[in-house]
């Protein structure tokens, strides 16, 4: 994977396909760019596709110092400017969605469209925040491996976790989560779970970018109701609910996600302008 040094950290990314339009994929907490393998393989037949690993995730460098939500937005902006060299169709899952909406609000000229998957635009739910802070406290001292029994059902629907035909995928992702740097996970979690509420800012936009919102029907981390909030806040946005999928819908239900994204991105101009 190529890499880029931005904001004091090295980020790794993939750069595949070609075409007049560029799609950038931004993954969720504890995951990495490989969760989008199916979508990248399909879209790279018609688009240039960049998928990057956030700081402390995947093949990007660990980052053990305090930082905030908008540092992740700065990371994405720098990558888009230096690698994509211009405006992109931004696809964000969970944390990636947190980044995408803030990027569109701060630097709209860089975002041609938004695809927001299993994410939210509001602040973290207080009850969830209490649970997540307890998990982060434990992660700080013992790492992720002992906590996978609690974490995996938050990330993935139970039907996916118990599907014998997909046990290999579950095993692979358990290994990846277990290998994460505990200090990086702690700092990252603190940054994203204490994010601000940008729903009022989205409601105030008179001309938001074309936006597709996708959510797994069984998402417990960012439930369908939070996607409906975003749909109501972003004028002209479209909502697709994926039956049976959890918080990692691009991984759990790859074809329905790819189909929804393809329909959205293939819309003719000027709707994608």
Spatial neighbors of 159 by CB under 8 A, at least 6 apart, are 218, 244
Average per-residue pLDDT in the chain? Answer: 96
pLDDT in tens, 219-230: 999 999 999 999
Q: How far is CA 152 from the centre of its chain?
A: 17
pLDDT tier for residue 1 given thresholds of 50, 70 and 90? confident
Domains annotated for the chain, with CATH where assigned, are: 3-265 (3.40.50.1820)
pTM across the whole model = 0.96
Asked if residues 221 and 155 have their Cβ atoms less than 8 Å apart, the reply is: yes
Residue 270 has pLDDT above 60, yes or no: no
Strand partners, 13: 52
Cα–Cα distances in angstroms (integers) from residue 18 to residues 37, 49, 213, in the given order: 16, 7, 25
pLDDT in tens, 84-104: 998 999 999 999 999 999 999
Give the strands of the sheet with 22-26, arranged side by side.
3-6, 9-16, 48-52, 22-26, 88-93, 111-117, 211-216, 238-242
Q: How far apart are CA 244 and CA 217, in angstroms?
A: 6
pLDDT in tens, 45-83: 999 999 999 999 999 999 999 999 999 999 999 999 999
Spatial neighbors of 202 by CB under 8 A, at least 6 apart, are 101, 105, 121, 208, 230, 233, 234
Residue 111 has pLDDT above 80, yes or no: yes
């Amino acid at each position: 994977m190529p890499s880029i040094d931005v904001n004091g950290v090295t980020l790794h990314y993939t750069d595949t396909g070609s075409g007049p339009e560029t799609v950038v994929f931004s993954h969720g907490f504890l995951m990495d760019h490989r969760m989008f393998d199916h979508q990248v393989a399909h879209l790279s037949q018609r688009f240039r596709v960049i998928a990057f690993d956030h700081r402390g995730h995947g093949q990007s460098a660990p980052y053990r110092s305090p930082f905030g939500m908008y540092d992740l937005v700065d990371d994405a902006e720098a990558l888009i400017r230096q690698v994509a060299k211009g405006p992109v169709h931004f696809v964000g899952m969970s944390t990636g969605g947190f980044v995408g909406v803030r990027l569109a609000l701060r630097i709209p000229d860089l975002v041609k469209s938004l695809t927001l998957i299993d994410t939210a635009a509001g602040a973290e739910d207080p009850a969830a925040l209490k649970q997540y802070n307890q998990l982060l406290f434990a992660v700080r001292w013992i790492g992720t491996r002992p906590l996978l029994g609690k974490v995996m059902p938050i990330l993935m629907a139970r039907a996916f976790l118990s599907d014998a035909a997909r046990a290999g995928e579950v095993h692979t992702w358990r290994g990846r989560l277990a290998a994460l740097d505990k200090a990086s996970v702690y700092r990252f979690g603190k940054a994203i779970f204490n994010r601000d509420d940008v729903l009022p800012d989205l409601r105030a936009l008179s001309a938001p970018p074309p936006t597709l919102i996708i959510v797994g029907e069984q998402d417990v981390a960012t439930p369908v109701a939070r996607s409906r909030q975003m749909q109501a806040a972003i004028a002209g946005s479209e909502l697709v609910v994926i039956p049976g999928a959890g918080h990692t819908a691009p991984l759990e239900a790859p074809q329905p996600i790819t189909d929804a994204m393809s329909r959205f991105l293939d819309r003719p101009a000027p709707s994608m302008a």
